[in-house]
Structure 1
Amino acid sequence: MKRMYALIAALAAFLIFAFFATNKDNDTHSSKAKIPTVGILQLVTHPALDQIHRGFVDGLKEYGYTPGKNIKIDFQNAQGDQSNLKTMSTKFANENVDLMAGIATPAAQALANAANKKTPVILAGITDPKGGGLVSSDKHPGGNITGTSGESPLKEQLDLLKQILPNAKTVGIMYTSSDHGGQYNAKKFAKLCKQRGINYKLYTISSTNDMQQVAEQAVSQVDAIYAPQDNGIASAMKTLVNVANKAKIPVIPSADTMVKDGGLASYAINQYDLGKVAGEMAGQVLHGRKTADFPVAYVTKGKYVINQKEAQILGIQLPQSIVEQAEKEGEVFK
């Protein structure tokens, strides 16, 4: 009888061990099969940022992450509302997403605060990451944040402006007072104008609602307007162009999407490419690469983008060399 009890006890112990071992294996398998979640926060809807968003998702695909298959993407758009930025970034933090991505400087800054130096944050086309307080340096970000920077080719853009409009005496430079990237680009462009002896006037808007009034003031005082990479200016680009066209004042913008919205011409970096490189970087971080020593990446190759319809409206003959380069390697809007 004792031997029978011992046998039953041994069998029970074996079954208990097998049960827990099986559960442990299932847990391990479940952990391995876990689908990562990426939270993408975009400041506002306009074509340039939308291109970055599309590029980011495609960059993840290039690195093997396909939405709906082996990665979950939670996309949030703050529509220009600062309180939405805080709420949405906090949501990502509370849900413990595996990685966050910020499209536009205010979105990246909100994510950086919510991540609290823990969750990886990828910058998607952010102008001046160090000046925006996001990284310690471009080569060695030093924390949980890295990504791509959208530094505009300002010298080439000024060269283009002067090539198209050699008689322009005063250039108006517009930016949004609350947009760090826009302010950074506008002031660097103004410095270049000063170095080359070109007169300039700075104009600021606090929101897109100011564009009509500020644009009307600008077109009465300048011969051309430069529109930097600035989310407020990009969002109000059509308003700016409508005012400028009535006064026959050309607008030279910084982004290809802004040329499509009525700018005359630009030498621009493709916003989609900025997003795609950022998405590929996100894929590497999800695979285990550390952000602290993952250098900020720059897309430096630009292209000529022209708007032939706008040239006709303004009565401007674009230089043939620029037209040919845009047709061959860039983009032409008709």
Structure 2
Amino acid sequence: MFKILKWLIVIVMMGGILLMAQKYLRDDQTLPKEKMLSIGVIQVIEHPALDQTRQGILDELKEAGLIPLETMQWVYESAQGNPALAAQVAQKFVGQKVDLIVTLGTTPSQAAVQATQTPPHIPVVFASVTDPVSAKLITNPQQPDLNVTGVSNYVDVDKQFEAFLKVFKPLKKLGILYNPGEANSVILVEKMQESAKKYDITLILAPAGKATEVLAAAQNLVGKVDAIFINNDNTALAAFGGVAKVGEQNNIPIFVSDVDFIAKGAVAALGPDQYALGRQTGKMIIKVLKDRLPINQIPVEWPSKVELKINFDIARKLGLQLVGNLANDAQAGN
């Protein structure tokens, strides 16, 4: 009887120890863990140039120790060229209380700024916005007054015309493919119309509101222009394959402001290195998330690297005579 009682006491004591251990385990499991940083990314539309910019951002963050699924959450969504979808995604990120929103292109940048106007004013860092002032993202690039800063992809229009005239001296009529619904494209068209007068170039505008309309717009320029230019228009660049075919079939030089499209059929491009622009943007994000700098202490930046690239194979097929030492000065893009 005594032995049985002794074992009962031991069992009760062991049970108590187990219950206490379970309690401690439960308490340990519910201890608050350090919150992982979260970044919401909105890209206006998917095309190689912006994809390169996004990759540059991601690589810069990784080098700084911000690694998706390990030290941060990286949530990417494409607006598919749709302003309403861009606004919806921006609102979703605000509802999820992300730590920062990254925007690639003017349309999602405008949507994100609009969505973050109420507290807690989630910071927004943009890339590939041509004119952030005209787009009403900021009023002072040197000291952003809202919750937004970033890196513009703007290249002076005069320099582009001068470069293209060196590639194709007889240029008199230039077709412009653009989306009138993209604020950055409208701004650039206005700048180009003013600048073209200096070079005695007539611009023929070919609007395309959707990527599916770009091919028809390009075909409509055949017989009317000496060359076609796409200047930072995300819609037209997203459908560049069709534009390149129109140029090839009709012996029309295609100029772009994005050097990544030289290998895809453009004859020349004067523009920023998109990957380098992404790395530049990534450094800004690090200043916000890791260095905890206020947005108004992070001025807007412009491309740190602008280059002229020429597809010499296409230039030869078109019979273009390059001016001066351009063949030596420009980088081969083919």
TM-score range, shorter-chain basis? 0.7 to 0.9
CA distance in 2 between counterparts of 1:331 and 1:283 reads 34
- Of the candidates 117, 131, 148, which is equivalent to residue 128 of structure 1? 131
Write the deviation string for residues 281-308 of structure 1: whole angstroms up to 9, x where unpaired: 0111012111123210111531121113
Structure 1 segment 76-115 matched on structure 2, within 5 A: 76-115=77-116
Q: Note the alpha carbon deviations across 1:100-146, whole angstroms, 9 max, x for none.
A: 00011111111112222500000112111111111121111101111
Given that 1:103 and 1:124 are in contact with CA atoms closer than 8 Å, whether structure 2 keeps it comes out as yes
Shift of 1:332: 2.1
Contact conserved, 1:41 with 1:88, CA < 8 A, in 2?
yes
Closer/same/farther in 2, CA of residues 164 and 311 from structure 1, 3 Å limit:
same
1:234 match: 237
Q: 1:298 corresponds to which residue?
A: 302
How far did residue 209 of structure 1 move?
2.3
Q: What pairs up with 1:1-334 in 2 under 5 angstroms?
A: 27=32, 30=33, 33-117=34-118, 118-287=121-290, 288-319=292-323, 321-326=325-330, 330-333=331-334
Aligned-partner Cα distance in 1 for 2:248–2:186: 25
Structure 1 CA distance for aligned equivalents of residues 211 and 317 of structure 2? 24
What amino acid sits opposite 1:90 in the alignment?
Answer: Q
Task: Indicate conservation of the 8 Å contact 2:168/2:322, yes or no.
Answer: no
Q: Please tell me the residue identity of whatever aligns with 1:214.
A: A
SS at match of 2:325: helix
Secondary structure, aligned partner of 1:125: strand
Instruction: Give the C-alpha shift of residue 216 in structure 1.
Output: 2.0
Residues 122-131 or 297-306, more deviating: 297-306
Quote the residue 2:10 is aligned against.
Answer: none
Separation in 2 of the partners of 1:44 and 1:253?
17
In the alignment, which residue of structure 1 is the partner of 2:14? none
Q: Residues of 1 paired with 2:195 and 2:64: CA distance? A: 39
Which one has the largest radius of gyration? 2
TM-superposed deviation, 1:87: 2.3
Partners of 1:185 and 1:112 in 2: how far apart? 21
Distance 1:143 1:64 in 2: 27
AA at the equivalent of 2:325: S
Structure 1 runs (4+) deviating above 3 angstroms are: 317-320
1:109–1:134 contact (8 Å) kept in structure 2: yes
For 1:8, the equivalent position in structure 2 comes to: none
Q: Is the 8 A contact 1:145 1:291 kept in 2?
A: yes
- Residues 166, 326 of structure 2: 8 Å contact kept: no
Gapped regions of structure 2 (runs ≥ 5): 1-23
How many residues matched?
305
Report the TM-score, using the length of structure 1 for normalisation. Answer: 0.85
Question: In structure 2, how many angstroms separate the alpha carbons of the residues matched to 1:61 and 1:146?
Answer: 21
Give the superposition deviation at 1:44.
Answer: 1.0
CA distance in 1, matches of 2:191, 2:107: 20
What's the secondary structure of 2:175's corresponding residue? strand
Q: SS state of the match for residue 151, structure 2?
A: strand
CA RMSD of aligned residues (A): 2.1
TM-fit CA distance, 1:196: 2.5
Residue-by-residue CA offset, 1:34-63 (whole Å, 9 max, x unaligned): 220011111111011101100111222343
Output the CA distance in 2 between the equivalents of 1:179 and 1:231: 8
Percent of residue pairs identical: 27
1:56 and 1:124 in contact (8 A); partners too = no
CA contact (8 A) 1:152 1:185 kept: no
- Output the CA distance in 1 between the equivalents of 2:275 and 2:189: 22
3-state SS, counterpart of residue 74 of structure 2 = strand
